Chain A
Amino acid sequence: LKEKHKILHQLLQNSTS
């Protein structure tokens, strides 16, 4: 699922702005 949703996964990993 992570592989298919790289952008969403990246957004979740980014620290909260």
Chain B
Amino acid sequence: DIQLGPNNVSMGELDRIAQNIIKSHLETCQYTTEELQQLAWQTHSYEEVKMFQGKPRDVLWQQCAIQITHAIQYVVEFAKRISGFMELCQNDQILLLKSGCLEVVLVRMCRAFNPLNNTVLFEGKYGGMQMFKALGCDDLVSAVFDFAKSLCALQLTEEEIALFSAAVLISTDRPWLMEPRKVQKLQEKIYFALQHIMQKNHMDEDALAKLISRIPTLSALCTLHTEELQAFQQLHPETVNVLFPPLYKELFN
């Protein structure tokens, strides 16, 4: 604890923050690294992909909304286990999760993405972009796949994914925070911990800068998701109102 890191945060404290976030991440991931490795080359057959493509648009939208909602519930659990998060006021906890949960889901998605054949884990097996054709939003799907590929290219360790997820979630960029200083203090510590780990792991000095440069893309993807949802809802209001998970509607509608 004697050695001081940036901003006079002790290295011991940075280490404690990092360990807490890594543990929270590992405890709240839907799949362990081992499970993902075992599944990595189990891909949907041609017939299975055709089956997804043949689904009515609203059915596939509903299926994706359910999967996203499921993933978000794990992200809420991740947030709750981060030291300091539950000490923020309830308004800010809700705001940070409302605006950041989908971004964290997208960051976590890179764990379940195989960049060698551009496939993602969906409904138990890996499949390519064509699996989501029936959603009718090729631009969004293609942008999400591009993002996952670009994040995979950085070859992040599980520890780095954990800290980056926390940094994305605990962000002072969100509007209407009631205690932005408190959020900022927590965010700074997370960034220092991330910086410390990345300097240790990567030869590339710009690795952290490259990672941070992906954040605007994350935000753009979430905006695109909201726009596509609105467009879909205009055509299928009943599907959204009656069949979509209540948490999904609460967060995005």
Total contacting residues, chain B, CB less than 8 A = 17
- A1-B95, A4-B250, A16-B80 given; A9·B73 CB < 8 A: no
By a CB distance below 8 angstroms, the chain B residues around A1 are 90-91, 94-95
Q: Give Cα distance in the complex from A8 to B96, angstroms.
A: 11
A-B contact count (CB 8 A): 39
Q: Assess whether B76 is interfacial by the CB under 8 Å rule.
A: yes
Taking a contact as CB atoms under 8 Å apart, the answer to whether B95 and A8 are in contact is no
Which residues 66-84 in B have Cβ within 8 Å of A in the complex? 73, 76-77, 80-81
CB distance from B193 to the nearest CB of A (A): 21
B93 within 8 A of A: yes
SS class, residues of chain B in contact with chain A: helix
Task: List the B side residues contacting A6 at CB < 8 Å.
Answer: 250
Assess the B250–A2 pair: CB atoms within 8 A: no
- Check: B59 CB closer than 8 A to any chain A CB: no
Separation in Å of the B74 CB from the closest CB of chain A? 11
Chain A residues within 8 Å of B73, by CB: 11
Q: Is B247 an interface residue (CB 8 A)?
A: yes
Which of B's residues lie within 8 Å of A, judged by CB?
73, 76-77, 80-81, 86, 90-91, 93-95, 97-98, 246-247, 250-251
